[in-house]
Chains A and B, each alone.
Chain A
Amino acid sequence: MLARARRKWPYLIIAAPLVFLVLIPFDWFLGQYTSIMIFIGINTMVTVGLCLLMGYTGQISLGQAAFYGMGAYISAILSKTYHVNPWLAMLIGAAATGAFAYAIAYPVFRLRGYYLAMATLGLGVIVYILFRELDQYTGGPDGMAGIPCLSIGGLVFDTPFKRYFLVWFFCLAILLLSQNIVKSRTGRALRAIHGNEAAAESIAINVTQFKVKIFVLSAVYASLAGSLLVHHLRFVSPQPFGFLASVMVAVMAVMGGLASIWGAIFGTAAIRILSDEVLAKPELVGWDVVVYGAILMIVMIFLPQGLFVGLKELYERWRLRYAERGAEP
């Protein structure tokens, strides 16, 4: 059905969700969900990075929250303490985080599998400890408040309504960029690396270089997301950047389907809605971690491609079988 619609009304498939997305923050439509949608947009940016790394390249990172936090803290400290223009602070944050990721990438990607996971996990925890302990810069465990808003000319992004469009502009730009990367020569190289590193190397793909590139890209995505987060909340503390935060990124990626750019939105949205709307009830406090653990285990055991992609594949298989049976006389 979807395929037929795609042939008949190719623009509708793109335009309808876009119109929906634009209308969401208006009060007469789904205005009460503006705030959660902003978080979905920000988290999606981090999730897409991990999807590129894990789903397409087959490399794991359990330290994505560190890059997210670096963007957040660099933006916060530069724009609040040193009164740097927030946009410039964001740019410096992204550049510095990318440079940091680049510097650690070559040694780290000499490791694979379990060791890569442990090394990135360790790095993430170290960076988190720095956020917490360098309190003369970061404000320590209590964090720092009063971070300025972003603005363009006279347009100050001082309400959730305005920030919604800002965040989703960045989010969609990153999704489109990632989509193009995946469909390009680079994307094919990444899938080759995922399939078999030795084989990829034998057809002249520089395996390490591609891994490093994607790792740096995912770090920059996370850093931009972190900057947007602090300019939205106007507050920063170490809490959203710890080990559990890195695990949450994995939960969102796993939910959406690891090798799926657009699945990242659905995975992130599903987890965010689950955590903010369902598990935020006072009688359920603390159960969220249990639910995320169960999701990770169950999805990875039964649908290792991720929930949405896995379900789609199950549906296609079921349809194929149904079609075959229908074709018999």
Chain B
Amino acid sequence: MSADQFVQYLVSGVTQGSIYALVGLGFTIIFTVTGIINFAQGEFVMLGGMISYRLIASGGLPLPLAAILSILATAVIGAILYLLAIRSARKASVVSLIIITIGAAILIRGIVGQLWGNDPVRPPYFSGEESLSFLGAYIQPQALWIIGITLVVMIILHLFFSRTMMGKALKACAVSRVGASLVGIDAKSMALISFSLAAALGAIGGVAMAPLTTTSYSIGTMATLKGFVAASIGGFRSQLLTVVGGITVGIVESVAVGLNWGPFTSAYKDAIALVVLLLILLVRSGRLATEERAS
């Protein structure tokens, strides 16, 4: 692999990894606030992309408006998921919650497939299609949008969690749900907010990614798995490590496929990321177990 190619794969890895990071952040936020891991997380990415495409293609809305509406709509769906499924199963065991969120995932995927068909769709680029040249690599403007949006989202999230009352209340729930409710924080509304926020983050990723890679009703499972890899690198606690993890997974996947040797080909792209997932889970298994008990 030449240096030019390497830069090319690096850039596409960072782009793809940004999406994993956004999904991973969603996982982390819901887990720290509620102690739940939502297996429908990747469906929010799918919803973001599919809704924005529908609003542009069938609704004729301008792109910025469609993007914002689809993110808001997905946030509402996240809230509905919490209210209908998670909240009504208050005393459910972990196994039940896993099954419930998986049920939600295939329900959402099935409905979208029925409403809008099974074919992949591609919403328009945010700006021009002309590739830019950078260190011998060609970069699509959309990739810059994705990386830029992820950066902005991270900064806003950081400010939200450190400067605003609501962000601090969410953080308090993450430290101790009992303690938070003792000082008058309503843990249930915080859980609701965490689901909406996570859904919105996934949708942002979906809206930004869809013009570059196309989107379809069935992309959710992979998004869930890869976002989970990112979040488990961050131990479901650290937002910074989650972002680093997501981008690392993106780069590993992209460069490994670029090797084009033995099993490192595009056919095994997803399998490579999943092997990374298994390795991380095994290396961190002791730590994850203690964290789970503490939450």
Interface size on B (CB < 8 Å)? 45
Residue of B with least CB distance to A125: B274
Judge if B107 is at the interface, Cβ distance under 8 Å: yes
Give chain B's interface secondary structure class.
helix
**Which chain A residues border B275 with CB–CB below 8 Å?**
126
> With A110-B286, A254-B99, A293-B105 in contact, is A287–B281 under 8 Å at CB?
no
Interface size on A (CB < 8 Å)? 41
Judge if B58 is at the interface, Cβ distance under 8 Å: no
**A60, A130, A296: which has the most chain B beta carbons within 10 Å?**
A296
**B156 vs chain A, min Cβ distance (A):** 27
Judge if B95 is at the interface, Cβ distance under 8 Å: yes
Judge if A247 is at the interface, Cβ distance under 8 Å: yes
Stretch at the interface among A38-46, A112-120, A232-240, A266-274: A112-120
Residue of B with least CB distance to A297: B103
| Contact string against A for B residues 97-131, beta-carbon threshold 8 Å, 1 for contact and 0 otherwise | 01110111111111101100010000000000000
Judge if A17 is at the interface, Cβ distance under 8 Å: no
Question: CB within 8 A of A290: which of B114, B228, B281, B285?
Answer: B114
**Which chain B residues border A243 with CB–CB below 8 Å?**
221
**Which chain A residues border B277 with CB–CB below 8 Å?**
118-119, 122
**A245 vs chain B, min Cβ distance (A):** 12
Q: Are A287 and B228 in contact (CB under 8 A)?
A: no
**A80 vs chain B, min Cβ distance (A):** 23
**Which chain A residues border B113 with CB–CB below 8 Å?**
286, 289
State A286–B110 Cα separation when bound (angstroms): 7
Q: Are B39 and A117 in contact (CB under 8 A)?
A: yes
State A119–B89 Cα separation when bound (angstroms): 24
**Which chain B residues border A304 with CB–CB below 8 Å?**
89, 92-93, 96
Judge if A152 is at the interface, Cβ distance under 8 Å: no
Judge if B292 is at the interface, Cβ distance under 8 Å: yes
Judge if B259 is at the interface, Cβ distance under 8 Å: no
Residue of A with least CB distance to B104: A297
Q: Are B102 and A290 in contact (CB under 8 A)?
A: no
| Contact string against A for B residues 282-293, beta-carbon threshold 8 Å, 1 for contact and 0 otherwise | 100110110010
Q: Are A115 and B109 in contact (CB under 8 A)?
A: no
Give chain A's interface secondary structure class.
helix
Question: CB within 8 A of B107: which of A60, A111, A293?
Answer: A293
State A109–B208 Cα separation when bound (angstroms): 38
Residue of A with least CB distance to B277: A122
**A118, A244, A286: which has the most chain B beta carbons within 10 Å?**
A118
Stretch at the interface among B240-248, B249-257, B265-273: B265-273
**Which chain B residues border A119 with CB–CB below 8 Å?**
277-278, 281
Q: Are A118 and B281 in contact (CB under 8 A)?
A: yes
Judge if B34 is at the interface, Cβ distance under 8 Å: no
Q: Are B98 and A117 in contact (CB under 8 A)?
A: yes
Judge if B37 is at the interface, Cβ distance under 8 Å: yes
Give the B-binding residues of A (Cβ under 8 A): 54, 58, 60, 62, 107, 110-115, 117-119, 121-123, 125-126, 129-130, 133, 243-244, 247, 250, 254, 286-290, 292-297, 300-301, 304
Q: List 6 A-B contacts (CB under 8 A).
A: A118-B37, A125-B221, A125-B225, A126-B275, A129-B268, A293-B104
